[in-house]
Structures are given as C-alpha cells and as structure tokens.
Amino acid sequence: MSTFVSGMVCRVCGKRYPVSPINFCTDDFGPLEVDYHYEAIQKVFRRESLERRPWTMWRYRELLPLEGEPTVGFEVGGTPLIRAERLAEALGVRRLWIKNDAVNFPTLSFKDRVVAVALSKAREFGMTTVGCASTGNLANSVAAQSAAAGMESFILVPADLERTKILGTAVYGAKVIGLKGTYDEVNRVCTQIALKYGWGFVNVNLRPFYAEGSKTMGFEIAEELGWRFPHHVVCPMAGGALIGKIYKAFSELHRLGLVTQPLTTRMYGAQASGCNPISECVKSGRERHKPVRKPNTICKSLAIGDPADGYFAARLIRQTGGWAEDVCDEEIVEGMLLLARTEGIFAETAGGVTVAVAKKLIEQGRIPRDEEIVLCITGNGLKTQDAVFDAVEAPAVIAPTLAAFEEYAGLRTPTREAAPAVV
Amino acid sequence: MAITVEIPSPLREATGGQTAVVVTGTTVAAALADLIRQHPLLESKLFHEGRLRPYINVFVNDEDIRYLEEMQTPVSDGATIALVPAVAGG
C-alpha cells in the first residue's frame, strides 16, 4: 500500500512539516496534525470496496497515517454499535445507540485503536522500544500490543492508579514506573524524556499518528448506522482528542462522499466534576481551559487536569452547537449501574461519566428526546471494579440444600409427601 | 542571581546549540527577558504579542507557573526554569 499522507500541518499557524516523530510546531509549539491527499483517496476509497474488507479498524486504512501495511494490532476495532432500547426508555429518549469499545481487542478500551497505529508507525520509524504516559487504559494497550509485536515498552503512570490497571500492564512484561504525582506531571516528564533522548512515546512525539487511530471509532459509527451521521454524539473527554477525531472522521466521510447527508452532528463532551477543565471551559464561555492542578475523582482514566486538546475540544463543542457537562462520583457510579442494568454492558468509570452526563443533558433539554443519540463507551468495567464494589449488593450465602434455597427465595416449602410415589 | 533555563531541542537553533542558558532575574518574567536579551531569536517562538504562547508551559523547579504566580513567580539563585511543549498526552 502506498501512503496517502501529504505531511503534517500545525493546527495553529498552518506551517507544514514532513512526516517525522514530532508532535508540535517548532515556531509556535502548536499541535501537528496529519494531512492527506484526499483527491487520491477519493479514487480508491468507496463503500463497495470497503464493505468487502474485514470488520476491523483497518478497513479505513487509506485514512490512517501509515506508509505500508499495519504491522501491529491487525484485529483491533470493529466493535458493536448497539441499539440501546432499554437505556433509551430509562433516559426518556427514542433513538439511542451505544458504541461499545469496552469490548475492543486486545485490552478492552478504545486505546487499542490509537496504539495499533502508533506502534505500526513506530516500526516504520525504526523504533524498537516505545513508551507512554498513561492513566491506565493506554498503559494496558501499549504493554499488550508491544508484547505481541516483540517490542520493548516502558510505561509511566501516576503511582496511585487502580491496581487492576497496573497489573494489566505489568503482566505483559512492560516496565511500569509509578510516578508520585498527577497524570500531568507524568506527562511532562515523558515529554522531557522524549525531547532529551528521542525515544518513541506514543502520546508525545508519536501523538499526531496515534491520535488518528481514534477516527476509526467515528468511521465505524457512521458505517454501522448505514452510512449516516447521528444527530448527537456524547463522548468522554480526558485529553480531549477523541471527541475531535470522531468529528474529523465524520468530516472525512462527508468530504470523500461516503456519507452524502450534510454533517450537522452536535458533539457533547463528558467529564467528571473532580477534573472538569474542558466542561468548565465550555460552560463558563472561557476561550481556553483553566488547568486543574489536583484532579479528585473516582474516574482516573479521565483525570487529566491540563488536556492537550482542551482548546480544540471546547471550540468544536461550541461550533457544532453541542455542550459539555460533568458529574460527581455518585452520579458516575449510578451511570455505570444504569448501563449495566439496562443494557448488560459493564463499562468503566468513564462510561459512567458518559451515561450520567447524557442523562443530565437530556434532562436539561440540551439534547432533544426525539433525535438520534450515540454514546461512546470507551473502556471496560472489569478494570475499575473498586468503583462499584460498595454500590452492588453482596451475594446471599446459604447452605447447599434445596430447602435452604427455597427458604431464601421465599418459595413454598414442599411437604415430604410430595416426593415421587412411584419408584 | 544565577538561574538556569533548560532549552528543549527544538529551540536550540535559536541558542546556537546551547542546551541550557544561565540568566538573571528575580521573577520568571525577568529571567525570560534576560534569556531573550541573550538570544533574541527566541522571542517570537516563546511570545506572541507580548504574551507567552499557549502551547508552551513553563516550570520553575518542576512546578507549573500557572499554579504559582504565572510570569510573576519569584525565582531564586540556583533555580531551574524548564520550557516544555504542552501538546502531549491523552
């Protein structure tokens, strides 16, 4: 496969750069984004040819920033878009879908998408060792996919991360380093390491390529809806990149003619109240977010106090006519339970944030009840079980007899005479 | 008042390859003004219309100045100022 990438472009000043492991403009430090030869893509990227390809994220490979074929994460993506009728009823809306990346492969979060691109790109750059700064899901995915690819990984996380997320990283043989600080401090150290030693950090100097992987969640939503755009998308925000990439995916599908309907989707961002720089920015009308120094929420996967894409996420939300909200820890747990008990989907805390924020926005009248809504569920509840441990009723413990069960279940106690009369 | 400013690799073109520059000043603003006096090519990279560009973060001894007193954050002898690009993570 030949590349359709035309280069990289600064999102602030528009200066162009050749493809290389660099994430910011050397003139103004603005973020770099991958740009494509859309005219060339248009000639080969059609619904008919696409629909014959395997149902993975790579069916959209012309719009991903690799030179050749992917070499890492062949099976990633292709997660279900579920018509959520019971949750819709609970929320009082008519048409609701869940994009369920809680069952992404291999590590049960949307981060598998970005890592598959980042590691394939790292290999193209000749890197054999990769790293990341992570709140957990990214750590899991970098560790698993680099192990499968035979690459070494070193992963920096806040030391107070959930045990399951640290275990789910170290088990793959990754070098895990817990830093006694916030995610933003971890992130800054990674930036300094990347700059000083030139190592490949998936979300630092490989970030422009990495972030493009998130678009595949948007491509899939549109295709699963029958090549249409929903009216409203609710998306959790940590660094703020995913919400922008889902919208970029919609824009690209429209530009290439795969979806002909005008793009009028409104984008809504969801955060935890204990770390809400972007939703606060939207709600207060501020142009740029105010960083949160010490995030305090059970939703650690969204606990980024100084989101790199905060400005762009807030701007996109405003431009599309969407909104942003945040919810407290109790609401997050309620959101997790509501999703589990209506749709049988156990999402991590970020999923609780998304469901609870959607509920809030619907109640506020920000999202109309009779239009199409997609909720993005980005991670699996098995990774954040501690969050719901106290909210879930402990199982009953009884003697191993039928009588004990009948007593527990309040069933009528059978008489001895009820035993079979005929032998 | 010797303050060390660490120069990240993309800015070293403007410092003649120097990885760190020793400056003087009692605040971040004064220290960075001295840095620009020594290396004028840095001005347009760090500042736009007199204000620090939004995608560069400044740390004094590993603490983000936005949580201190921003450009008026005091710096004392032996302090280290780090200039770190902000678009990472997530």
Q: Is residue A397 part of a domain?
A: no
Longest CA–CA separation in chain B, Å = 38
Q: Is residue B90 part of a domain?
A: no
Q: Is residue B24 part of a domain?
A: yes
Taking an 8 Å cut-off on Cβ atoms, the answer to whether B90 and A192 are in contact is no
Looking up residue A207, the CATH number of its domain turns out to be 3.40.50.1100
Q: Model confidence at A412, in pLDDT bands (50, 70, 90)?
A: confident
In this structure, are A120 and A266 located in the same domain? no
Contact A282, A269 (CB under 8 A): yes
Q: Please check the confidence at residue A313 and state whether its pLDDT lies above 90.
A: yes
Q: Is residue A401 part of a domain?
A: no
Q: Is residue B56 part of a domain?
A: yes
Taking an 8 Å cut-off on Cβ atoms, the answer to whether B87 and A187 are in contact is no
Question: Cα(A78)–Cα(A75) distance, rounded to whole angstroms?
Answer: 8
In this structure, are A162 and A16 located in the same domain? yes
Question: Cα(B9)–Cα(B6) distance, rounded to whole angstroms?
Answer: 10
Q: Is residue A301 part of a domain?
A: yes
Best CA proximity match to A340, nearest among A90, A134, A29: A90
In this structure, are A25 and A159 located in the same domain? yes
Contacts of A188 in chain B (CB under 8 A): 57, 59, 64, 84, 88
Taking an 8 Å cut-off on Cβ atoms, the answer to whether B88 and A23 are in contact is yes
How confident is the model at residue A198, as a pLDDT?
Answer: 84
- Residue A86: domain span: 81-107+214-389
Taking an 8 Å cut-off on Cβ atoms, the answer to whether B53 and A190 are in contact is no
Each as own residue / partner, the long-range contacts of residues A395-398 (CB below 8 Å, 24 or more positions apart, any chain) are none
pLDDT tens digit sequence for B39-85:
999 999 999 999 999 999 999 999 999 999 999 999 999 999 999 99
Taking an 8 Å cut-off on Cβ atoms, the answer to whether B9 and A195 are in contact is yes
In this structure, are A271 and A363 located in the same domain? yes
Q: Model confidence at A3, in pLDDT bands (50, 70, 90)?
A: confident
How confident is the model at residue A197, as a pLDDT?
Answer: 87
pLDDT tens digit sequence for A9-24:
999 999 999 999 999 9
Report CA-CA distances (Å) from A29 to A156, A282, A336, A417, B64: 23, 23, 38, 85, 17
pLDDT tens digit sequence for A77-94:
999 999 999 999 999 999
Percent of chain A with pLDDT over 70: 97
How confident is the model at residue A196, as a pLDDT?
Answer: 86
Structure tokens at B78: 């032996």
Taking an 8 Å cut-off on Cβ atoms, the answer to whether B88 and A203 are in contact is yes
In this structure, are A169 and A305 located in the same domain? no
Q: Model confidence at A233, in pLDDT bands (50, 70, 90)?
A: very high
Looking up residue B31, the CATH number of its domain turns out to be 3.10.20.30
Taking an 8 Å cut-off on Cβ atoms, the answer to whether B89 and A184 are in contact is yes
Contacts of B45 in chain A (CB under 8 A): 26-29
How many domains does one find in chain A? 2
Kindly report the backbone phi and psi dihedral angles of residue A161, in degrees, each rounded to the nearest multiple of 5, phi listed first: -65, 160
Q: Which of A8, A29, A132 to mutate to test the interface with B (most CBs of B within 10 A)?
A: A29
pLDDT tens digit sequence for A236-276:
999 999 999 999 999 999 999 999 999 999 999 999 999 99
CB atoms within 10 A of CB A167: 12
How confident is the model at residue A422, as a pLDDT?
Answer: 57
pLDDT tens digit sequence for A332-376:
999 999 999 999 999 999 999 999 999 999 999 999 999 999 999
**Min distance A369 CA to chain B CA atoms (Å):** 31
Mean pLDDT of A386-400: 94
Question: Cα(A8)–Cα(A23) distance, rounded to whole angstroms?
Answer: 9
Contacts of B85 in chain A (CB under 8 A): 23-24, 29, 191, 195
- Residue B25: domain span: 3-85
Question: Cα(A392)–Cα(A370) distance, rounded to whole angstroms?
Answer: 32
Best CA proximity match to A211, nearest among A307, A289, A108, A81: A307
pTM: predicted TM-score of the whole model, two decimal places: 0.94
Q: Which letter does DSSP use for residue A393 in this model?
A: P
pLDDT tens digit sequence for A174-208:
999 999 999 999 999 999 999 888 889 999 999 99
Q: Please check the confidence at residue B1 and state whether its pLDDT lies above 80.
A: no
Best CA proximity match to A60, nearest among A79, A73, A43, A41: A41
In A, residues 21-60, which contact B (CB 8 Å cutoff)?
A: 22-24, 26-31
Contacts of A27 in chain B (CB under 8 A): 44-45
pLDDT tens digit sequence for A23-66:
999 999 999 999 999 999 999 999 999 999 999 999 999 999 99
Q: How far is CA A170 from the centre of its chain?
A: 21
Taking an 8 Å cut-off on Cβ atoms, the answer to whether B86 and A291 are in contact is no
In this structure, are A85 and A56 located in the same domain? no
- What is this model's ipTM? 0.91
Q: Please check the confidence at residue A228 and state whether its pLDDT lies above 60.
A: yes
Best CA proximity match to B7, nearest among B64, B61, B81: B81
CB neighbour list of residue A143: distance below 8 Å, 6 or more residues apart: A153, A155, A168, A169, A170, A171, A172, A173, A174, A176
Best CA proximity match to A300, nearest among A382, A376, A233, A383: A383
Q: Is residue A39 part of a domain?
A: yes
Place of tokens 């790199």: A308
Q: Please check the confidence at residue A420 and state whether its pLDDT lies above 60.
A: no
How many domains does one find in chain B? 1
Question: Cα(A194)–Cα(B11) distance, rounded to whole angstroms?
Answer: 15
Q: Model confidence at A415, in pLDDT bands (50, 70, 90)?
A: low
Percent of chain A with pLDDT over 90: 94
Contact A298, A244 (CB under 8 A): no
In this structure, are A258 and A158 located in the same domain? no
Q: Is residue A404 part of a domain?
A: no
Q: Which helix (H) or strand (E) holds A130?
A: strand A129-133
Kindly report the backbone phi and psi dihedral angles of residue A255, in degrees, each rounded to the nearest multiple of 5, phi listed first: -60, -40
Q: Please check the confidence at residue A145 and state whether its pLDDT lies above 70.
A: yes
Strand order in the sheet with A200-201: A175-179, A152-158, A129-133, A200-201
Contact B54, A288 (CB under 8 A): yes
CB neighbour list of residue A289: distance below 8 Å, 6 or more residues apart: A277, A278, A280, A281, A306, A307, A310, A311, A314
